[in-house]
Each structure stands twice: as structure tokens, then as C-alpha cells.
């Protein structure tokens, strides 16, 4: 029965991971890299804290390097409350879609009305301060997105297969957990019934022995 309990615990861990993925818990997923001209595109940028219990604050900066350029240009910043579009080429075309708190982990933005001139490299930078009991620790995390703008969407087969396999795996784990729970429940129930029968037999044996002892005492008298 101990082995059954360990199997259930292991399966529960897998189940919690799959639920976390589906429910939007922090997971560092790479951004899409192909946008369609004239449409809206989400520039993904996620940096999860390793220890969720540690308080933190963060600011985010986005930089852009167009094709043929050598240096990145600062285009956008967000401090947990206010956003600031710095480069006029992106004026009214960047919309914050990340975390809604000072403890930023998702710094994704929507790029509106995409043009072919938006092709290039986008760098997302997290400037995070972790607050411990007696000190603060500063850390910087950079994420790079290489964006290509096309006239017509051409979603890659590998991307479709990867997404389908992810959901198949999640559903498979949940079904496996359900089967194991039913199996272990039946096994534990059977063990409980066996223990109950053993206890009943032991009780009857003790009662019978006590009755025989009483009869022996009466005969002796």
C-alpha cells in the first residue's frame, strides 16, 4: 500500500504541473517570431522568479534593432504602473499585455498595425530587485525576439504538432492519474476489508477463549 501512495503522490505532481500550464501560471514560453503586416502581433517576454515567496519589484525596457542596423534603440518602458513609448515610430502602436503588478514576470506587449519596417530584433530587459530580510539583490534578465513580418500567415507544421502534442500529453497524464487513483482506491479498500475480517476473527477467537475459561472455572467450583 505504501508503493501505491508513492505512485499517487508522483502522479499528483505531474497533474499539478499540467494544471499550472493550462491555468496560466508562470512558464517561460518563447515568443512567436512571425507577424502579418497590417495586423496585431504579441511580442512575448516572460521571466519567472525562481523563488515565488521572495518579494520583488521590477521594471521592463524594450529595445529594437532594425534589419541592417548595428545598435538597439530604446522604444518602450514599463515600471509596474505606467508605460512610456519612447520611439516615435511606435507611438500609439505598443500596448502593454504583461503583469499588472510591481512584481513583473510577464512583460509581453502587443505591437499594433504591424508594418514591414517592424522586422528585426526586439530585446526585452527585466531589471528586478529581490527583497530579502536583511538585504536586496539586483538582477537583470534579457530576452531576444527575432521578428519577421510577412504578407500572409504561414504557420509552421512543427508549431502545430508541438501544440497538439502538449495538450495530448496533459490529457494523457490526467487520464493516467484517474486510472491509478481508481486502482489504488480498490487496493486500499480490499486491504481494509481484509483487515476488518482479520480483526473480527481475532475478536471471535478471544471471545471463544474467554467463554471456555469461564466454563472451566464453573466446573472447578
User: Is the model's pLDDT at 24 over the cut of 50?
Assistant: no
Dump the DSSP string for 95-151. EE-S-SSSS--B--EEE-S--GGG-EEEEEEEEEEEE-SS-EEEEEEEEEEEEEEES
Poorest-confidence range of 110-114, 142-146, 193-197? 193-197
What distances in angstroms separate CA 93 from CA 53, 106, 170, one per listed residue?
Answer: 35, 19, 36
Between 172 and 97, where is the model more confident? Answer: 97
What distances in angstroms separate CA 15 from CA 12, 84, 152, 159, 181, one per listed residue?
Answer: 5, 40, 38, 24, 12
Contact 63, 122 (CB under 8 A): yes
Poorest-confidence range of 75-79, 124-128, 170-174, 204-208? 204-208
What is the bridge-based pairing of β-strands 136-150 and 34-36? parallel
pLDDT at 30: 85
Which residue is associated with the grid cell 529594437?
64
pLDDT-derived band of residue 119, with 50, 70 and 90 as boundaries? Answer: very high
Between 75 and 7, where is the model more confident? Answer: 75
Q: What's the average model confidence in pLDDT over 60-75?
A: 95
User: Is the model's pLDDT at 115 over the cut of 90?
Assistant: yes
pLDDT at 159: 60
Q: What's the average model confidence in pLDDT over 174-200?
A: 74
C-alpha cell at 149: 513580418
Residue 155 sits at φ, ψ, to 5 deg, of: -70, 130
Q: What's the average model confidence in pLDDT over 4-28?
A: 56
Amino acid at each position: 500500500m505504501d508503493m501505491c501512495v508513492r505512485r499517487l503522490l508522483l502522479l499528483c505532481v505531474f497533474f499539478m504541473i499540467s494544471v499550472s500550464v493550462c491555468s496560466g501560471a508562470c512558464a517561460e514560453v518563447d515568443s512567436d517570431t512571425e507577424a502579418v503586416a497590417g495586423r496585431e502581433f504579441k511580442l512575448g517576454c516572460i521571466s519567472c522568479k525562481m523563488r515565488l515567496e521572495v518579494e520583488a519589484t521590477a521594471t521592463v525596457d524594450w529595445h529594437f534593432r532594425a534589419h541592417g542596423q548595428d545598435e538597439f534603440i530604446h522604444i518602450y518602458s514599463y515600471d509596474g504602473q505606467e508605460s512610456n513609448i519612447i520611439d516615435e515610430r511606435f507611438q500609439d502602436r505598443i500596448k502593454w499585455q504583461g503583469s499588472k503588478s510591481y512584481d513583473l514576470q510577464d512583460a509581453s506587449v502587443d505591437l499594433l498595425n504591424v508594418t514591414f519596417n517592424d522586422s528585426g530584433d526586439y530585446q526585452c530587459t527585466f531589471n528586478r530587485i529581490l527583497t530579502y530580510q536583511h538585504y536586496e539583490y539586483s538582477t537583470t534578465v534579457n530576452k531576444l525576439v527575432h521578428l519577421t513580418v510577412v504578407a500572409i500567415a504561414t504557420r509552421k507544421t512543427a508549431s502545430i504538432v508541438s501544440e497538439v502534442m502538449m495538450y495530448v500529453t496533459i490529457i494523457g497524464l490526467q487520464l493516467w492519474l484517474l486510472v491509478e487513483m481508481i486502482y489504488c482506491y480498490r487496493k486500499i479498500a480490499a486491504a481494509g476489508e481484509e483487515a476488518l475480517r482479520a480483526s473480527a476473527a481475532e475478536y471471535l477467537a478471544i471471545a471463544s477463549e474467554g467463554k471456555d475459561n469461564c466454563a472451566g472455572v464453573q466446573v472447578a467450583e
